[in-house]
Structure 1
Amino acid sequence: MAKQKMTRAEKSWIMYDVGNSALVLLATSVIPIYFSSLAPDGGVVVAWSYAETVASLIIALLMPILGSIADMKGMKKKFIVGCVGTGVVATVALGIPTSAMAFLVIYVISSVALNSSMVFYDALLVDATTDDRMDEISSQGYAWGYIGSCVPFIACLLVVLNYDALGIGLQTAMQIAFVITAAWWLAFTIPMLRDVQQKHFKPREEHAVSRAIKGIGGTLKEMWANKAIKFYMIAYFFYIDGVHTIIKLSTSYGTDLGISSTQLVLALLVTQFVAFPSAIIYGRLSSKYGTRRMLLIAIAAYFGITLFAALFLRTATEFWILAILVGMFQGGIQALSRSEFGKLCPKKRANEYFGFFDIFGKYAAILGTFLVGTFTALTGNSSLGVMSIAVLFVIGFVMMLKVPAREEAAE
């Protein structure tokens, strides 16, 4: 059977992943290193962990309410416009502060805007494609996001790593990097806003906010009554929380171990290149071996990655090995998690359900960052903090085994 070509809507939906991934990559590599220069007294891992936790808590509180409203006709893209607009301005503003606290405040705003936009973007997957193509399109989104984000990232690196040769200061170099990243994000948002139409929606309601707040409890009861969604959400909460904790804190952990900033950034760039083909391959393997089975393999792999980081990671070479291992599974586990939930949730209430989906882990890495920050603060050993993440993957693996097949859940 000939491979089906992607539609214009599918391609444009994928383009948004290319756009927002530029800030995601910068936030997991260069930004923590720059923040360490603003916080010379130390405590980088702890401060960064708690900043990420605050951002995640804000998203967790907002998304169920905003998601319910966004499910109404024509609202998804309006919310995306608001989030992207706020995020772009905040990203540019990151170059202004000279104190650590002011920088963290603006970073939290940009992080909330970015990750909130991703909730609405994820929910648009059900409008951009069909159930039988969700694994493929979701995987393509992550894949092209990884490789596409390298273009502005390399441009930023050239400026940041050569600021002396360019005759500018580090802050000016970072200001240029933030402008490049914000412009890239904005440019690749336009195709999705133009070509992807909201096909699934609820009728508009009066007093939408109050109704959304009152309806949160009912939605939770519905989700809990659905065995497939219940166990899937519990599994997802734990394993993806661990995944995003590793993504968010890998650079600050490497800095704490004394690995040079250049080695850290270049290794994370390798992660992007490895993740590009890996995400596509993972999506195609899911059609042969099943989405759930591929998710279980990825969860087990991340458990091993966590142990490697905590027990053996001490040098730049070992950080490069870690970066390659993460790249092999990062895109696959994210893409298939998103598409699998898109198949399970009711299409007309996709935003509402994806709002809870993101609370249960995707961009609300509350537990993992809190565990790392707390254990590191209590023991003074960041390796023990990283070790605490392993339990998240164990619980996630066990809970995923309890998720019934979609055919069984339908019955």
Structure 2
Amino acid sequence: MKLPTLCNRKTISYALYDWGNSAFATTIMAGFFPVFFKQFWSAGSDVTLSTARLGFGNAAAGLFLALLAPILGAISDRGIHKKHFLLFFTLIGALFSASLFFVGQGDWQLAVIIYIAGTICFIGSNLFYDSLLVDVAAPEQRNMVSAFAYSAGYLGGGLLFALNVAMTLRPGFFGLDGPAQAIRISFLSVGIWWCVFGLPIQFAGIRSRTSAPLNLRLFSAAFKQLAGTFREIRAYRSILLFLIAYWFYIDGVNTIIKMAVDYGLSLGFHSSALITALLITQFVGFPAALFFGWLAKRIGPIRAIRIAIIVYLGVTISAAFMRTELEFYLMAISIGLVQGGIQALSRATFANMIPEDKSAEFFGFYNMVGKFAAIIGPALIAITGLLAHKAGLAETVATRVGISSIAIMFIAGWFFLGLATGQNPSQEEEHS
């Protein structure tokens, strides 16, 4: 793709949204919420119990979104409302992010509720954001535009996260009382960052192809369309197999994003080392996501995705035997090399497989699949860890058993991705 294509108004505003909302994924979801949840809101609790609470909280958010996503997608595809829904979830999600500032010590129940609500808004916004890709870029441009947006997300989320980490490590320099106050202000900064960089996409001239008004009839028609899509998607065998593969491997990806810091804390690693490792992931991920966009043009998106799956499988297996903070740093680098690539190429590959006039509806299923995966991974870690601990294993050993349980998701994802490619060989040939 030529550079001017990446520099047009639509593409830049699309990338800016990822720049903005990635702050939730970095500062809150992957970074400070797990740390603060274990050390502040769940202070004094057994580490296995606090991990289970966080795992079940992530699973609850995933379940709600898995049920809601296809309905929202069907509604969106029957009107010009993608950006309206995107704006709604952006504003409400930013509000919930900022409201974590007010949750007091020991009040883990309220923290979980707000976190679940914020996660619902974050993922809900991504449903409509992802579906806009077909309105932003032509089919031959989507791998690169998607990778460009993901790389911007890594950079934008990483910059705010770096500032928040600096506030936490040196609170006195910023006029703060201590690390706890710095983390609470970090939650507030996420809401502001998300709003500031999430709004330009509303004014970039991005237009959907349909124009039905938003009213009660639209909601009724959406439910009928949803039922029809359940029947219709079975006729798209390659899409169905790709969704199954995606369900498996993205389960592992989402679980690692949400639970890696909690895992490190359970092993006794210092929180500052874990946060530094997350920063490494962000800034490694920025050029790596762009590299995967280039790699997809060279070897095809399916082969590039399978390379990422192999790396993730290796990371999962090695994590179960991790002993030192240096190993955690190496894991962070490995994840940064492939995380943006596997997400960007999955989104672009799916966008190229589906009917364009049903993009939000099909992306509703895409996000539903991803969210059901987000239920299983964290819950699997929580359940296997608790069972292993009750069976008499030490807390750290039980935690290792929990993290190792998600390796099967990457193995299954690899298998079904091969079946999806077999059903649609041109998916590889046209990019080779």
Specify the TM-score bucket, using the shorter chain as the normaliser.
over 0.9
TM-score, normalization by structure 1: 0.95
Structure 2 residue 288 is the aligned partner of structure 1 residue 288 = no
Q: What's 1:264 paired with?
A: 274
Which of the residues 378, 383, 394 maps onto 2:411?
394
TM-score, normalization by structure 2: 0.91
What is the CA distance between 1:211 and its match in structure 2?
2.3
* 1:1-400 matches, cutoff 5 A: 3-6=3-6, 7-26=8-27, 27-36=29-38, 37-40=40-43, 41-42=45-46, 43-98=49-104, 99-163=107-171, 166-201=175-210, 203-204=212-213, 207-310=217-320, 312-361=321-370, 364-380=373-389, 381-400=398-417
In 2, distance between residues paired with 1:295 and 1:117?
24
Q: Which moved more, 1:200-209 or 1:87-96?
A: 200-209
What is the CA distance between 1:72 and its match in structure 2?
2.9
SS of the residue 1:314 aligns to: coil
In 1, distance between residues paired with 2:129 and 2:375?
21
Task: Give the % identical residues.
Answer: 34
In 2, distance between residues paired with 1:8 and 1:18?
15
- How far does the alpha carbon of each residue in 1:261-317 deviate from its partner, in whole angstroms, 9 at most, with x for none? 00000011001111111110111010111111111111122111110111x212111
SS of the residue 2:352 aligns to: helix
In 1, distance between residues paired with 2:179 and 2:261?
18
User: Aligned letter for 1:297?
Assistant: I
In 1, distance between residues paired with 2:249 and 2:206?
32
In 2, distance between residues paired with 1:2 and 1:16?
22
Show structure 2 runs of 5+ residues with no match: 390-397
Change in Cα spacing, 1:406 to 1:192, as seen in structure 2 (3 Å) is farther
- How far does the alpha carbon of each residue in 1:344-386 deviate from its partner, in whole angstroms, 9 at most, with x for none? 1111111111111011116851111111111011102011111
User: Aligned letter for 2:324?
Assistant: T
SS of the residue 1:200 aligns to: coil
In 1, distance between residues paired with 2:100 and 2:123?
17
**Could you tell me whether the CA contact under 8 Å between 2:80 and 2:211 is conserved in 1?**
no
Q: Which moved more, 1:357-366 or 1:236-245?
A: 357-366
In 2, distance between residues paired with 1:273 and 1:362?
26
In 2, distance between residues paired with 1:296 and 1:169?
44
SS of the residue 2:56 aligns to: helix
Show structure 1 runs of 5+ residues with no match: none
Aligned length: 408
User: Aligned letter for 1:331?
Assistant: G
User: Aligned letter for 1:70?
Assistant: S
Q: Which moved more, 1:356-365 or 1:132-141?
A: 356-365
RMSD: 1.8
SS of the residue 2:101 aligns to: coil
